[in-house]
Amino acid sequence: MRHLVTGGAGFIGSHLVDRLLEANQEVICLDNYFTGRKSNISNHIDNPLFELIRHDVTDPIQLEIDQIWHLACPASPIHYQLNPIKTSKTSFLGTYNMLGLARRLRAKILLASTSEVYGNPEVHPQPESYKGAVNPIGIRSCYNEGKRIAESLCFDYQRMHGVSIRLARIFNTYGPRMIPDDGRVISNFITQALRGDQITIYGDGSQIRSFCYVDDMVEGLIKLMNCNYNGPINIGNTEEFTILELANIIKNKINPNIRFVKKSLPQDDPHQRRPLINLAIEKLNWKPKIDLNTGLDKTIHYFKSTKKQ
Ligand code: NAD
Ligand code: UDP
């Protein structure tokens, strides 16, 4: 089996590449290194099962592969808002090109979609049947509307051309290989606390999130690719925390003397988000195993070790 992982040099993509290679599968990793790093996959360079291609998914590409894991897209708000037009192009053209490839090769394709398709949800927790409350013209729209058109394209390729699709609605995921200060809450808080800087709380910190450790996420994606279900599936952790609670947990693990500083809440920042994962439990026999406490320890260990280098 030969796999194409787009965005394979990124945070989740590189962990997926590790897992596929561990299972002795052939892997082509494709990335434009916008937010991905060669160092995330450099340990595989000499592996004959591994190939690395610098390519932008907004341009078509011809390859011979059996399965496509389509993860290429910046995920952190500061990254996807840097060039929002490019983010929309990546979501639409990138997914269109990968679906065209899947159609030609009769390859199965998994789209890394997102809980952002639910927008600022009025329903809590969110089931897959919830249609979402999305602002189509805000600063997050390039990403959440981008992923919505990507999902829509997947279903049209399935209906029109019989392409075999898998659709993962990924909820907040964290772990080693996140970029320090990439704007995401866990990487921001850990790097701030390790430096002795104030922890930046946006708004009053009452917003709710749930955090999935990356190993659990990759396990869920692999189970999804291998199952027969082709509707959207939420993959995420169901333990919920306010941002203030998260800040206190990280502060107490790293430096109890650290202070908090309040900053304004970004536009359209969802007030609450937590997945209902009944479908993942039923269809994939998957649920997360790693709790926040354990996952944070592993992530803090990673950030400490990269700081020393
Ligand atoms: P990431 O930014 O670390 O990885 C994205 C990868 O895609 C990077 O390696 C980047 O260089 C590459 N990329 C971006 N645009 C590209 C383009 N036009 N052509 C080729 N490569 C391109 O982010 P991540 O957290 O690993 O997210 C991976 C996927 O999972 C994304 O599609 C994201 O939307 C989705 N997702 C992630 C989360 C999360 O919490 N991490 C939540 C929901 C959805
Ligand atoms: N957040 C925060 N301080 C930070 C970074 C993020 O308070 O330094 C908040 C942010 O406003 C949001 C939550 O943490 O409410 C999660 O943010 P992240 O960017 O990680 O993910 P998303 O908003 O996409 O869930």
pLDDT digits (tens, 9 = 90+) for 183-232: 999 999 999 999 999 999 999 999 999 999 999 999 999 999 999 999 99
Question: Residues 138-159: pLDDT tens digits?
Answer: 999 999 999 999 999 999 999 9
* Triad 190, 43, 48: Cα angle to 5°: 150
Low-confidence ranges of the chain (pLDDT < 50): none
Sorted by where each starts, the structural domains of the chain and their CATH numbers stand as 2-172+214-238+271-289 (3.40.50.720)
Distance between Cα 121 and ligand 1 center (Å): 22
Pocket test for ligand 1, best of 11, 91, 172 (most atoms within 8 A of CB): 11
Smallest-distance ligand from the CA of 147: 1
Tell me, yes or no, if 143 is annotated catalytic: yes
Question: What is the rounded CA–CA span in Å between residue 3 and residue 18?
Answer: 12
CA distance 132 to 115: 9
Please tell me whether residue 118 adopts helix, strand or coil conformation.
Answer: helix
The span from the CA of 80 to the CA of 74, in Å, is: 5
Q: Which of 11, 185, 199 to mutate to test the pocket of ligand 2 (most atoms within 8 A of CB)?
A: 185
Cβ–ligand 1 distance for 207 under 6 Å, the answer no
CB atoms within 10 A of CB 8: 29
Q: Which of 105, 90, 13, 23 is nearest to 58 (CA)?
A: 90
Question: What are the CA-CA distances from residue 48 to residues 43, 63, 97, 282 (Å)?
Answer: 12, 17, 27, 37
* Whether the Cβ atoms of residue 144 and residue 84 lie closer than 8 Å to each other: no
77 phi, psi to nearest 5 deg: -50, -40
- Whether 71 is in the pocket of ligand 1, judged by its Cβ within 6 Å, is yes
| Ligand 1 site-directed mutation target among 12, 151, 218, most atoms within 8 Å of CB | 12
CA-201 nearest atom, ligand 2: 7
Strands 240-242 and 208-210, bridge-based pairing: antiparallel
pLDDT attached to residue 308: 61
What integer pLDDT is reported at residue 181 of this predicted model?
A: 79
CB contact at 8 A, 147 and 113: yes
Does the reported pTM lie above 0.95?
Answer: yes
Report the separation in Å between the CA atom of 96 and the middle of ligand 2, taken as the mean of its atom positions: 29
Q: What's the mean per-residue pLDDT of the chain?
A: 97
Residue 309's pLDDT is what? 53
Residue with tokens 């019989």, as numbered in its chain: 162
* Three-state secondary-structure class, residue 125: coil
Q: Are 200 and 188 in contact (CB under 8 A)?
A: yes
Exactly one of 80, 143, 157, 174 is catalytic; name it. 143
